[in-house]
Amino acid sequence: MADRPTAVSDFSAAMTGGQTFQLAGRPARYTVLFFYPKDNTPGCTTENIAFRDLHAQFQAAGTEIYGISRDSLRSHEGFKTKLGLPFELISDPDETLCLLFDVMKMKQMYGKTVRGIERSTFVIDAQGQIVKEWRGVKVAGHVDEVLEFVAHQA
């Protein structure tokens, strides 16, 4: 990431709970957007559970969490219920947000090259600036690192 924060264009998107996410005017000090490849897969389940388990600490740090994938709202609702997620999931079936955040990549899966979401996390401040990003995320320890970042900001 560059030394200076990067502005994100305002956007809205459908999310679980029959709600619409709107970036502009978020009341939280920070918004965490984490992009993951697919509901109900092992790594994505582990990542969502890690964010779930630390949700209270993120809220104490003035931070709201939102997961994003290309899955449908129906899939997201089932995944959210199954895992007991206390945060909403944003559906991006047409890849609008994936392209905005440049997370669509060619990757190897079971010996084949496929186009998919590169697991990535972004911390956005109340002014709509990306203040930290992680790309090519490995799930183990990642959520702790994100929490440490937001908890130690001035």
Residue 69's CATH number: 3.40.30.10
- Per-residue confidence in pLDDT tens, the chain, 154 aa: 445 568 898 999 999 999 999 998 888 899 999 999 999 999 999 999 999 999 999 999 999 999 999 999 999 999 999 999 999 999 999 999 999 999 999 988 778 898 999 999 999 999 999 999 999 999 999 999 999 999 998 5
Under a CB-based contact definition with an 8 Å cutoff, are residues 23 and 54 in contact?
Answer: no
Q: Which of 129, 121, 94, 127 is nearest to 8 (CA)?
A: 129
98 is catalytic: no
**CA-CA distance, 26 to 123, in Å (whole number)?**
13
Catalytic residue among 8, 15, 44, 85: 44
Number of domains present in the structure of the chain: 1
How far, in Å, CA of 106 to CA of 19, rounded?
31
Tokens standing for 31?
Answer: 């918004």
CA–CA distance, 119 with 85 (Å, rounded to integer): 19
- Residue range(s) defining the domain that contains residue 90: 30-151
